Chain A
Amino acid sequence: MNTSLTGKRPKTLSLKENYALLTRGLGWDTTYEPMDKVFPQDKFEGIKIHDWNKWEDPFRLTMDAYWKYQGEKERKLYAIVDAFQQNNGQFNVSDARYINTLKLFLTGISPLEYGAHRGFAMAGRNFRGAGAAIAAQMQAIDELRHAQTQAHTISHYNKFFNGLHDYTHMFDRVWYLSVPKSYFEDAMTAGPFEFVTAISFSFEYVLTNLLFMPFMSGAAFNGDMATVTFGFSAQSDESRHMTLGLEGVKFILEQDPDNIPIVQRWLDKWFWRGYRLLTLVAMMMDYMLPKRVMSWGEAWEMYFEQNGGALFNDLSRYGIRLPKYHEVAAKEKDRLSHEAWATFYNYTHAAGFHTWLPEASEMKWLAEKYPMTFDKLYRPRFEFWREQQQKGQRFYNNTLPMLCQVCQVPTFFTEPDDPTKICHRESDYRDNKFQFCSDGCKDIFDHEPEKYVQSWLPVNQIYQGNCFRPGVDPTVPGFDPLLEVLHYYGFHVGEDGGEFQDSPDCKNWERWTGKPGAAA
């Protein structure tokens, strides 16, 4: 195979030549139709590109090499997942509460992997530069592989635990899953440059350590080797995605000074949207991992305030500053996880995973990690709830919450300078009122109200009568609308949500493993 027909050994291409031929070498300028008609979506955002050849993929990855490396990785990954399944690895995790972390991640984040696949496929189609198009296409395939491997994980855990039986159905309907869903759909419905700035840079470069680090090291700490293996496999892709995010943003900034204010606005917006999404991670780290890695507050300081600070120092030579409201995130770091967990404790009967009260040793850890806030602001509610629970009156909130028009999280966040007062912000637009959780979300709305008036807010949709199964008659006597909503979500009522201690998951765990459901 190494000799040509003439018997001469062909010249081996250098990596650089190979990359040039398999990227730019595959592109051409169209002549039957004007380029602007073939690529209609890469100008309306206002981004000006003068020379697409300046796009540099630092990995110089080409399709032939891609198949080879990824094929090897997949074989190893599936061999380990197979071994995990055959050895009943799911029973080696720290305790059954941990599984709820997985449920939240697998139902909330895995569909985003598929969303990313779609988004990068569209970006790949819409960039007229061949280098950028091919990088986006390869990332689209990465994301599809990640969605697939996570579907295998879901399939395995679903055999033993509740709440994972129909994650794609739930993703399009359930109130808290609308938070990641709307985040991603916001990015996908923007133009290709905003999409890559949002996902490749703001999420994958700036914030990803706050998602993957706690999730993967949390999995390792808690004995979940299936997730750890997936993490290692995905990590080499993630580092490529991160580098592309950074190189992509630098490329845009270097092409034209007019691009700078546009990119800055996107960085402000997508920092804030990504940070609001990470609220779920904050509560996972501080409340849901039976063995904790580090606190959310510590993670924020290390991964955003220090590492992110250094990154934005580097970008200052382009005229880019730290994202707006980063100081609000810093003020919220001592309260975010507590406020979020309390919210899911309020509404866990309408969720697809369980909540519980932190035990005495866990409250001690929380008080040590959050000396300024925990004992004063959050311990009283947990102690009151414990008393109620011991009396057989587990507290549930039976009225639906107000949601933020932009991030779609219940508006539980408190004023930046007063952790005892809910932060309320409001806008009037086209004779309607819109409510927000923060200045960050209000700014996003006020800049593009025509986009966010269309938000599908789960609570408001329920009250419009749009969240019942087809054929259900809400006028029959005794109709319970909120119970019907849970059926519409596809939940198994009484199994998937509610208090952990009362759950079939907890009882099954004790029966199958002989270990307590919640190891103190």
Chain B
Amino acid sequence: MSVVALSPGYTGEIKDRVENFHGKQLLFISWEDHLMYCAPMCIPVPPNLPFGALTAEIIPGMYVAHPDTPKIDWSRVVWLRTGQVFAPDPAKSLTDNGLGHKALLRFRTPGLNGLNGSGT
């Protein structure tokens, strides 16, 4: 039973179907141990965006006020897709890197653990 409803067979409209985003899809990005930025970010991106654009521009732009941001060594970053470590290919698109609509991309920056190492 996927809902308790008056009418048998009731189904709901999925409000956030990818078709509603005018050719884009949502991507959630979360930088671990940097909770000065309080929650994962939500951005609309074209599905064919190369993964490398995230590291070159998009992520540093979002976390611009954090003193750790200029110190990120992208070659040492650990990436997680739905909680599993993976190795993205910067030249390939988000889709080809397995990041679909409303996927959550998390990353860890070894050695950079937030303000005074406090996880913020």
Task: List residues of chain A with CB under 8 Å of any chain B CB.
Answer: 40-41, 44-46, 190-191, 194, 339, 342-343, 346, 376-378, 380-381, 384-385, 388, 393, 395, 397-403, 410-412, 414, 420-422, 424, 426, 430, 432-435, 448-457, 459-461, 463-465
With known contacts A44-B6, A399-B62, A453–B12 Cβ distance under 8 A = yes
| B window 14-46: CB within 8 A of A | 14-17, 20-22, 24, 26, 28, 30, 32-33, 35-44
Do the beta carbons of B39 and A422 come within 8 Å of each other? yes
A-chain residues with CB within 8 Å of residue B6 when the two chains form the complex: 40-41, 44, 191
Return the contact of B16 from the options A378, A395, A411, A460 (Cβ within 8 A): A460
Those 4 A-B pairs whose CB atoms lie nearest each other, nearest first: A420-B119, A450-B3, A401-B39, A410-B39
Do the beta carbons of A384 and B103 come within 8 Å of each other? no
- Ordered by A's residue number, 6 sampled pairs between the chains whose C-beta atoms are within 8 Å are A190-B4, A397-B38, A421-B33, A433-B100, A448-B3, A457-B15
Do the beta carbons of A432 and B101 come within 8 Å of each other? yes
Do the beta carbons of B26 and A460 come within 8 Å of each other? yes
Interface size class of B (residues with CB under 8 A): 35 or more
- DSSP class of B's interface residues: helix, strand, loop or mixed? loop
A-chain residues with CB within 8 Å of residue B119 when the two chains form the complex: 377, 420-421
With known contacts A44-B4, A380-B120, A463–B24 Cβ distance under 8 A = yes
Return the contact of B21 from the options A194, A421, A463 (Cβ within 8 A): A463
Do the beta carbons of B4 and A422 come within 8 Å of each other? no
A-chain residues with CB within 8 Å of residue B57 when the two chains form the complex: none
Complex Cα–Cα for A451 and B14 (A): 9
Return the contact of B40 from the options A422, A448, A453 (Cβ within 8 A): A422
Do the beta carbons of A402 and B28 come within 8 Å of each other? yes
Residue of A nearest to B44 (CB): A463
Do the beta carbons of A453 and B15 come within 8 Å of each other? yes
Nearest CB of chain A from residue B32's CB, rounded to whole Å: 7
Complex Cα–Cα for A456 and B35 (A): 26
Return the contact of B36 from the options A384, A403, A420, A459 (Cβ within 8 A): A384
Do the beta carbons of B30 and A424 come within 8 Å of each other? yes
Could you say which of B2, B17, B33, B101 has the most chain A C-beta atoms within 10 Å of its C-beta? B2
Residue of B nearest to A378 (CB): B120
Could you say which of A410, A426, A450, A456 has the most chain B C-beta atoms within 10 Å of its C-beta? A450
With known contacts A40-B6, A384-B115, A402-B28, A450–B38 Cβ distance under 8 A = no
Residue of A nearest to B33 (CB): A420
Nearest CB of chain A from residue B100's CB, rounded to whole Å: 7
* Binary contact track B95-108/A, C-beta < 8 Å → 1, others 0: 00000111110100
Return the contact of A457 from the options B3, B12, B16, B120 (Cβ within 8 A): B16
With known contacts A399-B62, A448-B3, A460–B42 Cβ distance under 8 A = yes
With known contacts A41-B6, A380-B116, A448-B3, A403–B38 Cβ distance under 8 A = no
Nearest CB of chain B from residue A47's CB, rounded to whole Å: 11
Question: Does B75 have its Cβ within 8 Å of any Cβ on chain A?
Answer: no
Do the beta carbons of B4 and A400 come within 8 Å of each other? no
Residue of A nearest to B13 (CB): A454
B-chain residues with CB within 8 Å of residue A453 when the two chains form the complex: 12-15
Could you say which of B10, B36, B103 has the most chain A C-beta atoms within 10 Å of its C-beta? B36
* Binary contact track B72-93/A, C-beta < 8 Å → 1, others 0: 0000000000110000000000
Complex Cα–Cα for A46 and B21 (A): 39
Nearest CB of chain B from residue A466's CB, rounded to whole Å: 9
Do the beta carbons of B28 and A377 come within 8 Å of each other? no
Do the beta carbons of A463 and B15 come within 8 Å of each other? no
Return the contact of B120 from the options A377, A410, A454, A465 (Cβ within 8 A): A377
Could you say which of B10, B17, B38, B101 has the most chain A C-beta atoms within 10 Å of its C-beta? B38
Return the contact of A410 from the options B14, B38, B65, B118 (Cβ within 8 A): B38
| B window 46-79: CB within 8 A of A | 62, 65, 67
Known: A46-B4, A384-B67, A451-B12. 6 other contacts (CB 8 A): A384-B115, A426-B83, A432-B14, A435-B28, A435-B104, A460-B42
Do the beta carbons of B30 and A460 come within 8 Å of each other? no
A-chain residues with CB within 8 Å of residue B36 when the two chains form the complex: 342, 381, 384-385, 395
Nearest CB of chain A from residue B28's CB, rounded to whole Å: 4
Return the contact of B43 from the options A40, A41, A395, A399 (Cβ within 8 A): A399
Complex Cα–Cα for A193 and B16 (A): 30
Do the beta carbons of A422 and B28 come within 8 Å of each other? no
Do the beta carbons of B3 and A411 come within 8 Å of each other? no
